[in-house]
A = this chain, B = another copy of it.
């Protein structure tokens, strides 16, 4: 699917979600949605806010927070609390990887994030559900690594 088609599809899904939940379809909400889908990486509230500002549009941080909450409910983004600093978000449609390798610099900041998916996680989930007799509805797996100093990694 081409980028433009994806965006159209996503817009529709968000619109549907907003209607179904009696939320209004404000221009701010779609501006934020499009900004997010123009980013190909994890992002925090401030980067969204700054991109919108840089594009000459006006918006309050509160609106960004509110809209991200709606997008979260709509399942169009996912939220991560990688540290005690600002939360990170990522698009979730067409991206069902919940598993990350986080490459951390010595100062604790994020060098890069590699996503992957491994069927063994789901096998563990099933075993746990049976053993603990409860329903697991999500998971997050983080592996932590240090940046390479020598040869380049195969990403």
CA distance A118 to B124 in the complex (A): 8
Interface footprint category on A: 35 or more
A132 touches B146 (CB 8 A): no
Residue A10 at the B interface, CB < 8 A? no
Number of copies: 2
* A128 cross-chain contacts in B, Cβ below 8 A: 101, 116, 143
Closest chain B CB from A50 CB (angstroms): 20
A143 touches B125 (CB 8 A): yes
Which candidate, A32-40, A52-60, A81-89, is the interface stretch facing chain B? A81-89
A residues adjacent to B (C-beta < 8 A): 81-84, 87, 101, 103, 114, 116, 118, 120-121, 123-125, 127-128, 131-146, 148, 151, 153-155
Additional A-B contacts beyond A135-B146, A136-B144, A136-B145 (19; CB < 8 A) = A81-B83, A103-B134, A118-B124, A118-B127, A120-B123, A120-B124, A121-B141, A131-B154, A132-B145, A132-B153, A133-B148, A134-B148, A135-B145, A136-B143, A137-B144, A139-B143, A140-B141, A141-B141, A141-B142
